Amino acid sequence: MNEDQFRESPLLTVRATDVAGVVVVAVAGEIDVDTADVVLDALRLGFESGCPAVVADLTAVSFFGSTGISTLITAHELADEYSTKLHVVAPHRAVRRPLQVTGVADVLSLHDSVDEALSELKPVPSE
């Protein structure tokens, strides 16, 4: 995945970018029953790329309900199948709160920014 890949609909924009060997899938708009497959497909492509991790950047998601939660659970399971790590950027209440209330936040690796997620993925130099 060398170049940015874009998918757009009236309710959702998904962009996948390779950032230092990590696929960052940036999602903007609404994750609902009509758009969830687009998000899951983009994450799946990231897992299939063979990279060590995929970051789902949900910073610009404006609607996130049960379908969004289900999408992330499925993505987490796919990450395990591909031996890849899934990191979720969810700094805003619209996404983070449903994940916390349902307990899904306890299973996912949540971050407040893409930079934070990427810094966790970098190896720490030994002293």
For residues 22 and 51, the answer to whether their CB atoms sit within 8 Å is yes
Task: Please give the pLDDT value at position 11.
Answer: 87
Query: Domain boundaries in the chain?
Result: 5-113
Sequence-ordered list of residues with C-beta below 8 angstroms from that of 126, at least 6 positions apart, any chain: none
Task: Please give the pLDDT value at position 119.
Answer: 93
Task: Please give the pLDDT value at position 105.
Answer: 96
pTM: 0.90
In the chain, DSSP finds a helix count (H) and a strand count (E) of 4, 6
Task: Please give the pLDDT value at position 1.
Answer: 47
Task: Please give the pLDDT value at position 10.
Answer: 80
> Is it true that domain 5-113 has CATH number 2.115.10.20?
no
Task: Please give the pLDDT value at position 43.
Answer: 97
Q: Compute mean pLDDT per 10 residues along the chain, 127 residues long, and list them.
A: 62 92 95 95 95 96 96 97 96 96 96 95 60
Task: Please give the pLDDT value at position 6.
Answer: 66
